[in-house]
């Protein structure tokens, strides 16, 4: 090797390789790469990264790879390499050795999210022709520490531990487990949906078990009798025939099942799906999580020379356990996403405290259309249009947003639901989606706060810049729920009660006044000072109603 040139050390399967860097080194799965890695290694792009000499520095640059390039546990776009750096192309490790040093610390890590989380380390002397021997590392602890952010857990390695530790957890001569757990973390974490995650599991399975011909991941219903294919791979692309006898037995035992030689095993000589096919070996590993069987991994081999053994059984078992956890995490992630969307949707209408109560209850039924008794409030700004005529558009929007913000806060403080803004007016209702026994009282209290908010707004403004507000309130039966078209629905109320509230605001209330309907007056009793107004026939109605004007609350002296 040329003196002074850095060396890259890496391992592919059982081969431990070195590469003396020239001025430009391309790395990836593409055939024209200087270091061309096998297609079967998951997480590596066709052109993943480039190492090049710039002056006296060696630089690594990520080539917009999907799974990222890491240098000493940190994801990088461009980074100067130092002697002993550990590079990861996704989860595939390489060690960079600059010849000026004779010792280095290796830390091979598997990135999940933005930083690696599955790691092992060991210190060894680096000679110019040294290579990484993965079999020299010993595993001292099982995988543990599952969480939504650390899907692969943490695997600790210690060279001082004896080989008995590895055998205790994985059986003897299980160097494959290091690669498996390293690759598995990224294979599960980088997936954006369940199908992609399961496809990554199959890719990893075929990478680890090269004698497998077909594989399928199935979902099982709660009864344990009906199976649904989620993903599969077979030589012909045709649907895989799964032995129901093998599946049922594995699920019943709640453990992985190996049929090593189906043709000579008397237990399965009458099983038509095995006897009438060219399948020689089968492994079925149930997907078990929190004591429930949620599915299974089923693989087969079809050549007499390729019979599954203990190693293949242990690989399938390890994969099945991780896959079950990952499936549950995806389900939890989807629930969180749906909850976030639900919360975001609710927040358009309802105050934070009410949103929290609805989300905590976990019941969407209160958003379905139904008949309810609620109190509806309409408000309208007077004089705002005149002010807006002399202002730039953005200032008009900012001013209106500021006013509506104050009015909406008053509605939310009293557990009301914002229905919509109508020009410079707004509509709200009280008593849905969460029932309020005193919804009429809460509506009146909110209306009084709205009057106070407008008074505060006007306090420092010239008389010709002041605005007024009219408020109409009515109580009664409505249809409330998600109403609209297939493309868009809004949570709203409809019915005569709504129309009367609107007419009370537009035809009865004056600026600075709250007009309420007779049913609202009955509901609030004598708590507020009210003045009975002359009967009025509202637009669209035949019979007159007797409205009231609310002045204040005796208890507060208002």
pLDDT tens column, 353-411: 566 656 665 555 556 678 999 999 999 999 888 888 888 889 888 889 899 999 999 99
Please indicate, yes or no, whether residues 329 and 429 belong to a single structural domain of this protein. no
- Gap between the Cα atoms of 474 and 456, Å rounded: 26
In the chain, the number of structural domains is 3
Note down the domain range covering 487. 352-556
Nearest to 473 by CA among 496, 450, 503: 503
**Could you tell me which residues come within 8 angstroms of residue 303 by beta carbon, excluding any fewer than 6 positions away?**
211, 213, 280
The answer to whether position 1 is within a domain reads no
- Gap between the Cα atoms of 7 and 95, Å rounded: 8
CA distances from 187 to 27, 173, 196, 198, 399 (A): 20, 24, 9, 9, 51
Please indicate, yes or no, whether residues 247 and 388 belong to a single structural domain of this protein. no
Mean of pLDDT over the chain:
78
- Gap between the Cα atoms of 20 and 6, Å rounded: 6
Please indicate, yes or no, whether residues 293 and 371 belong to a single structural domain of this protein. no
> What is the DSSP track for 115-154?
EEEEEEEEEEE--TT----GGG--B-S--B---SS-TT-B
Among 113-117, 176-180, 250-254, name the one with the lowest average pLDDT.
113-117
Using DSSP, how many helices (H) and how many strands (E) does the chain show?
12, 26
Q: Which two tokens stand for residue 211?
A: 């004698």
The answer to whether position 182 is within a domain reads no
Please indicate, yes or no, whether residues 412 and 454 belong to a single structural domain of this protein. yes
**Over 50: is that where the pLDDT of 172 sits?**
no
Among 382-396, 434-448, 504-518, name the one with the lowest average pLDDT.
382-396
What confidence tens digit (pLDDT) does each residue in 443-476 have? 999 999 999 999 999 988 888 888 999 999 999 9
- Gap between the Cα atoms of 493 and 483, Å rounded: 8
Q: What is the CATH number of the domain that holds 119?
A: 2.60.200.20
Q: What are the φ and ψ backbone dihedral angles of 365, each rounded to 5 degrees?
A: -65, -25
Please indicate, yes or no, whether residues 104 and 145 belong to a single structural domain of this protein. yes
Q: Are strands 513-516 and 468-484 parallel, antiparallel or unpaired?
A: parallel
- Using DSSP's 3-state secondary structure scheme, residue 482 falls into strand
Please indicate, yes or no, whether residues 400 and 269 belong to a single structural domain of this protein. no
CB 324, CB 295: distance < 8 Å: yes
Q: What band does 335 get if pLDDT is binned at 50, 70 and 90?
A: confident
Q: What band does 5 get if pLDDT is binned at 50, 70 and 90?
A: confident
Please indicate, yes or no, whether residues 134 and 195 belong to a single structural domain of this protein. no
The answer to whether position 392 is within a domain reads yes
Please indicate, yes or no, whether residues 329 and 364 belong to a single structural domain of this protein. no
The answer to whether position 43 is within a domain reads yes
Please indicate, yes or no, whether residues 542 and 409 belong to a single structural domain of this protein. yes
CA distances from 133 to 95, 106, 215, 239, 356 (A): 12, 12, 31, 40, 55
- Gap between the Cα atoms of 541 and 474, Å rounded: 15
Among 222-226, 329-333, 485-489, top mean pLDDT goes to 329-333
**Could you tell me which residues come within 8 angstroms of residue 535 by beta carbon, excluding any fewer than 6 positions away?**
544, 545, 546
pTM of the model: 0.46
């Amino acid at each position: 090797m040329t003196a002074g040139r850095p060396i890259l050390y890496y391992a592919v399967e059982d081969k431990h390789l070195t590469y003396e860097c020239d001025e430009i080194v391309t790395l990836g799965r593409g055939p024209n790469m200087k270091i061309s890695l096998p297609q079967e290694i998951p997480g590596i792009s066709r052109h993943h990264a480039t190492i090049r000499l710039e002056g006296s520095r060696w630089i690594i640059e990520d080539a917009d790879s999907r799974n990222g390039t890491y240098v000493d546990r940190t994801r990088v776009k461009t980074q100067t390499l130092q002697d002993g750096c550990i590079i990861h192309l996704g989860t595939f490790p390489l060690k960079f050795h600059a010849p000026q040093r004779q010792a280095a610390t290796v830390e091979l890590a598997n990135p999940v999210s933005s930083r690696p989380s599955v790691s092992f380390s060991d210190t060894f002397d680096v000679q110019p022709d040294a290579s990484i021997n993965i079999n020299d590392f010993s595993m001292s602890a099982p995988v543990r520490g599952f969480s939504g952010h650390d899907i692969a857990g943490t695997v600790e390695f210690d060279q001082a531990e004896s080989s008995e530790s590895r055998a205790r957890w994985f059986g003897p001569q299980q160097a494959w487990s290091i690669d498996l757990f390293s690759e598995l973390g990224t294979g599960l974490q980088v997936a954006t949906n369940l199908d992609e995650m399961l496809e990554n599991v199959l890719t990893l399975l075929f990478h680890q078990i090269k004698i497998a011909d077909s594989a399928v991941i199935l979902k099982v219903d709660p009864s344990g009798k009906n199976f649904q294919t989620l993903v599969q791979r077979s030589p012909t692309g045709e649907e895989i025939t799964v032995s129901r006898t093998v599946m049922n037995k594995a699920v019943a035992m709640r453990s992985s099942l190996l049929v090593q030689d189906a043709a000579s095993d008397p237990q399965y000589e009458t099983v038509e799906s095995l006897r009438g096919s060219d399948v020689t070996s089968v492994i079925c590993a149930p997907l078990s999580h929190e004591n429930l069987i949620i599915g299974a991994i089923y693989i087969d081999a079809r050549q007499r020379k390729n019979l599954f053994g203990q190693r293949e059984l242990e690989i399938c078992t390890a994969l099945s356990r991780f896959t079950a956890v990952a499936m549950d995490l995806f389900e939890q992630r989807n629930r969180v996403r749906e909850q976030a969307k639900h919360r975001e949707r609710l927040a358009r209408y309802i105050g934070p405290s009410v949103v929290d109560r609805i989300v905590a209850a976990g019941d969407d039924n209160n958003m379905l259309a139904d008949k309810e008794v609620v109190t509806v409030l309409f408000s309208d700004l007077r004089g705002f249009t005149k002010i807006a005529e002399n202002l730039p558009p953005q200032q008009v929007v900012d001013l209106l947003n500021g006013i509506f913000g104050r009015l909406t806060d008053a509605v939310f403080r009293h557990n009301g639901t914002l229905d919509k803004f109508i020009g410079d007016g707004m509509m709200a209702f009280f008593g849905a989606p969460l029932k309020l026994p005193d919804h009429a009282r809460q509506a009146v209290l909110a209306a009084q706060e709205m009057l106070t908010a407008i008074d505060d707004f006007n306090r420092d403004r010239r008389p010709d810049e002041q605005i007024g507000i009219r408020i109409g309130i009515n109580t009664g039966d409505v249809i409330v729920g998600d109403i609209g078209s297939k493309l868009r629905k809004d949570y709203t109320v409809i019915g005569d009660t709504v129309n009367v509230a609107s007419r009370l605001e537009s035809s009865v209330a004056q600026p600075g006044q709250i007009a309420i309907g007779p049913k609202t007056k009955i509901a609030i009793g004598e708590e507020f000072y009210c003045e009975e107004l002359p009967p009025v026939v509202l637009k669209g109605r035949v019979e007159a109603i007797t409205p009231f004007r609310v002045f204040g609350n005796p208890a507060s002296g208002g």
